[in-house]
Chains A and B, each alone.
Chain A
Amino acid sequence: MNRVDMSVSIAGLKLKNPVMTASGTFGFGEEYGEFYELKRLGAVVVKGITLKPRQGNPPPRTCETPAGMLNSVGLQNPGVDYFLEKELPRLLDKGASVIVNISGATVDEYCAMMEKLEPSGVAAVELNLSCPNVREGGIAFGLRPDAVYDVTRRVKECGDRPVIVKLSPNVTDIVEIASAAKEGGGDAVSLINTLLAMDIDINTRKPVLGNTYGGLSGPAVKPVALRMVHQVAEALDIPVIGMGGILDWRDAVQFILAGARAVAVGTANFVNPLAPVDIIDGIEKYAMQQGFSSVEAMVGALL
């Protein structure tokens, strides 16, 4: 059998395969880099960073729910300057394509980070407009089309790096929001971030998470994510990075068939540290068996 062309072009980037890591689930690559070579991934999307260091939310920050989990990490991170100085060089040394996920409380903060990242070796920037866990996590932008348009346009003016806009599923009309990102000049959209959720301990009569609310991720959200990716890919001409509950290659193939040009693996890393590379191999085998010559030919190939 002929080999499958696994590469994909997205947001002006050429990725060697369509599999990325989902922001916040992969740290800065250091830990999972002990399990396999990071350059095998299409891209490493690093944990969300902010202009200034952030301590994050009080514990407990995670709990398991049926076929999923809640987290309220709250964007704990060492800030953009530390990232550029200490974390990025190490990642680039490993040969990884690095996408940086950024969050801000104001449009100016997003722009300030974009300007700092512009001269560095990052491949692209992902605007987190959808962290449900902190007020400064961009959620204030991600729920309103006009705000999504505005922040995307302003950030695009601050640099030439490709800009991916990460969308929240906690909205009435996902297409309207994605459309605003496209109008604002976004090069791609990524979806979905976590669904706002909570859990309660009936013995203590307290919320399980220290922060009361958290974000739901994992297999439980997959059907919702798949539907949203399909809606956006059908309605708009903008590359989509699909994520939400991808545990194995079958899930990843579903997202690609629904119209995603690339996929991101999040919670699955916690279950199987080798999940992203297993998924790359699985997609290739599937494409071969189904007679696709390339992954790009599979994108949106839903009948």
Chain B
Amino acid sequence: MKGPKMLKVIENKPIAGYVYSLKLHAPELCERVLPGQFFHIKCGGDKFPLLRRPISLSYTLMEEGCMVLVYRVQGQGTKNLSSRRPGDPLDVLGPLGNGFEITNRHQRVAIVGGGIGIAPLVELAGVYGKRAVVFAGFRDETFLIEGLQQRSPDVRIATEDGSVGYKGFVTDILAQHLKEHRFDVVFACGPRPMLQRVAEACRKALVMCQVSLEQRMACGVGACLGCSCAVKDTDGSLQYVRVCKDGPVFWSEEVCWDE
């Protein structure tokens, strides 16, 4: 039966300010994990920090039997995680949640990420390759660009300070692009205000959009109802669903953005 696994840390290094790339040896999980799924990680400490931290798959390296998770140091959990060294064991539960809905019918897709929300999209970019246009937004410092480009050549960059690519929000270049080009689906991950703008742009352009949501989690497996977000039921009424088990990927039109 499934349970937490002890995985070996191969590499754990900073790739930008506060952003770390964690490579784990996990040949069996590599075969199974889907783009958009996450792992629930015991970041260290016996009782403090107590709970696991959800971190999404960024990409797999099949030949090496490794997977890479990219995370931002935000609190005590991720701070502890950043001090893990190569060779250390790491207690990992997963893969958990539903990944992005991927089908062969999608001939042209847009993949939109903001900040650390770019990390979960790298493996997805590999699935769609030349069929995707990737939009990556950062405040200032960029990361994971090479990884994206290797998988999907058309990568458009926006930075808020204008240091690389378009100066401004990634949602601006996406909205402009949606006016001129036809996409079968848009995939997005990033801060909630950004996702809301992506959803709005897709609604106007009549394109379906899948968003990957973040929420504080406790169990990560669907048992505690601690990670709920509000969605619209088929009859229009509001209902709480579990980000960890029913998501983390949702259709943008289901999400109650104002909740």
Binding site for B on A (CB under 8 A): 24-27, 30-32, 34-36, 47, 55-56, 58-64, 66-69, 71, 73, 76, 218-219, 247, 267, 269-274
Residues of A close to B229: CB separation below 8 A: 59
- Residue contact A270 to B220, C-beta cutoff 8 Å: yes
Tell me if B223 is interfacial: C-beta within 8 Å of chain A.
Answer: yes
* Given A36-B1, A62-B216; A269-B223 close (CB under 8 Å): yes
- Residue contact A31 to B50, C-beta cutoff 8 Å: no
Stretch touching chain A among B29-37, B79-87, B237-245, B246-254: B237-245
Q: Which of A247, A267, A272 contacts B4 (CB 8 A)?
A: A272
- Residue contact B224 to A67, C-beta cutoff 8 Å: no
Tell me if B219 is interfacial: C-beta within 8 Å of chain A.
Answer: yes
Query: Measured between alpha carbons, how far is A290 from B224 in the docked complex, in Å?
Result: 36
- Residue contact A67 to B47, C-beta cutoff 8 Å: yes
Query: Measured between alpha carbons, how far is A56 from B229 in the docked complex, in Å?
Result: 11
**Nearest chain B residue, comparing its CB with the CB of A32:** B223
Tell me if B14 is interfacial: C-beta within 8 Å of chain A.
Answer: no
Beyond known contacts A24-B224, A31-B223, A55-B240: 12 more, CB 8 A cutoff:
A31-B221, A31-B222, A32-B223, A55-B239, A56-B225, A59-B227, A62-B224, A69-B218, A218-B50, A270-B51, A273-B93, A274-B4
Q: How many A-B contacts at CB < 8 Å in the complex?
A: 102
Residues of B close to A27: CB separation below 8 A: 222-225
* Given A31-B245, A35-B3; A270-B240 close (CB under 8 Å): no
Number of interface residues of B (CB under 8 A): 34
**Nearest chain B residue, comparing its CB with the CB of A71:** B226
Tell me if B98 is interfacial: C-beta within 8 Å of chain A.
Answer: no
Residues of A close to B218: CB separation below 8 A: 62, 69, 71, 267, 270
Residues of B close to A58: CB separation below 8 A: 230, 259
**Nearest chain B residue, comparing its CB with the CB of A29:** B223
Query: Measured between alpha carbons, how far is A27 from B225 in the docked complex, in Å?
Result: 8
Query: Measured between alpha carbons, how far is A102 from B47 in the docked complex, in Å?
Result: 30
Query: Measured between alpha carbons, how far is A31 from B228 in the docked complex, in Å?
Result: 16
Q: Which of A30, A35, A59 contacts B2 (CB 8 A)?
A: A35
* Given A76-B240, A270-B51; A63-B216 close (CB under 8 Å): yes
Interface of A is mostly: loop
Tell me if B25 is interfacial: C-beta within 8 Å of chain A.
Answer: no
- Residue contact A73 to B48, C-beta cutoff 8 Å: no
- Residue contact A62 to B42, C-beta cutoff 8 Å: no
- Residue contact B52 to A270, C-beta cutoff 8 Å: yes
Residues of A close to B259: CB separation below 8 A: 58-59
- Residue contact B48 to A67, C-beta cutoff 8 Å: yes
Residues of B close to A25: CB separation below 8 A: 219, 223-224
- Residue contact A69 to B50, C-beta cutoff 8 Å: yes
- Residue contact A26 to B226, C-beta cutoff 8 Å: no
- Residue contact A31 to B219, C-beta cutoff 8 Å: yes
Query: Measured between alpha carbons, how far is A64 from B220 in the docked complex, in Å?
Result: 14
Query: Measured between alpha carbons, how far is A192 from B65 in the docked complex, in Å?
Result: 46
Q: Which of A24, A68, A271 contacts B42 (CB 8 A)?
A: A271
The minimal Cβ–Cβ distance linking B205 to chain A, given in whole angstroms, is 29
- Residue contact B2 to A67, C-beta cutoff 8 Å: no
- Residue contact A71 to B224, C-beta cutoff 8 Å: yes
The minimal Cβ–Cβ distance linking A44 to chain B, given in whole angstroms, is 11
The minimal Cβ–Cβ distance linking B76 to chain A, given in whole angstroms, is 8
Residues of B close to A274: CB separation below 8 A: 3-4
- Residue contact B226 to A62, C-beta cutoff 8 Å: yes
Residues of B close to A69: CB separation below 8 A: 50-51, 218
Q: Which of B48, B49, B50 contacts A267 (CB 8 A)?
A: B50
* Given A24-B224, A63-B216, A67-B48; A55-B238 close (CB under 8 Å): yes
Tell me if B217 is interfacial: C-beta within 8 Å of chain A.
Answer: yes
